[in-house]
Chains A and B, each alone.
Chain A
Amino acid sequence: SAVISQKPSRDICQRGTSLTIQCQVDSQVTMMFWYRQQPGQSLTLIATANQGSEATYESGFVIDKFPISRPNLTFSTLTVSNMSPEDSSIYLCSVRPGTSEGTQYFGPGTRLLVL
């Protein structure tokens, strides 16, 4: 398994501003993912962030809005840019260890409210 922490755990932001969310893992993993969970909804994959390559974004998500960094095998950041109230969601990072048979382990999430 893997232990994942996220910062901040929650935030309230004004529209038009940006927030950077950090994800820290207790072990080295190649595959890391960022998800969004809108209120009362399931999880939607934003992007896959593998170390050593550019992030791969899912349909409907773009780099200008959600830039991602992956400087090493234990850390990543997701920035939510030029926020609007529609960005109010829980943002979760996850990792897939190489021996996990597809299992992903999730961080506790960052609860974002945009006013």
Chain B
Amino acid sequence: GDSVTQMEGPVTLSEEAFLTINCTYTATGYPSLFWYVQYPGEGLQLLLKATKADDKGSNKGFEATYRKETTSFHLEKGSVQVSDSAVYFCALSGGQGGKLIFGQGTELSVKP
């Protein structure tokens, strides 16, 4: 079945460092891909998405490119801030019934 695998955390970075969180997927067909963010004590917020191969999603300085050839959707940010500390979830939507399938989540901690 469809699945999502994320880079394990926690990830600890200094402010202004470069961030990459790896995400790969297995799916039949052509799924849409998402990054969601969960700040401490809150629900999930959509960070960005891409619906077809080579699309780049971007938001708040974060970017991810839908790479069909490598089945990947890695999240990047050039300069992280303390306020980016959160758990990041990669997900895909492509099967019957509109289900979202989530990766295990990656906790990011940014230190001043």
Contacts and interface: CB of A to CB of B under 8 A. Distances in A.
Interface of A: 1, 31, 33, 41-43, 45, 48, 56, 92, 94, 96, 101-109
B77 interface: no
B34 to A, nearest CB: 7
Interface stretch (B15-23, B59-67, B92-100): B92-100
A109 B87 CA distance: 15
Contacts of B43: 92, 106-109
Contacts of B93: 102-104
B46 A43 contact: no
Contact of A104 (B51, B100, B103): B100
Given A101-B51, A102-B32, A102-B98, A42 B89 contact: yes
B41 to A, nearest CB: 8
A104 B36 CA distance: 10
A94 B38 CA distance: 14
Given A42-B89, A104-B98, A108-B42, 14 more contacts: A31-B98, A33-B99, A41-B104, A42-B103, A45-B99, A48-B97, A48-B99, A96-B98, A102-B32, A102-B49, A102-B98, A103-B46, A106-B36, A107-B43
8 contacts: A42-B104, A43-B102, A92-B43, A101-B32, A101-B49, A102-B32, A104-B93, A106-B44
Interface residues of B, number: 22
Name which of B45, B46, B99, B104 has the most chain A CB atoms within 10 A of its CB. Answer: B99
A104 B97 CA distance: 12
A102 B105 contact: no
A67 to B, nearest CB: 20
Name which of B49, B97, B100, B103 has the most chain A CB atoms within 10 A of its CB. Answer: B100
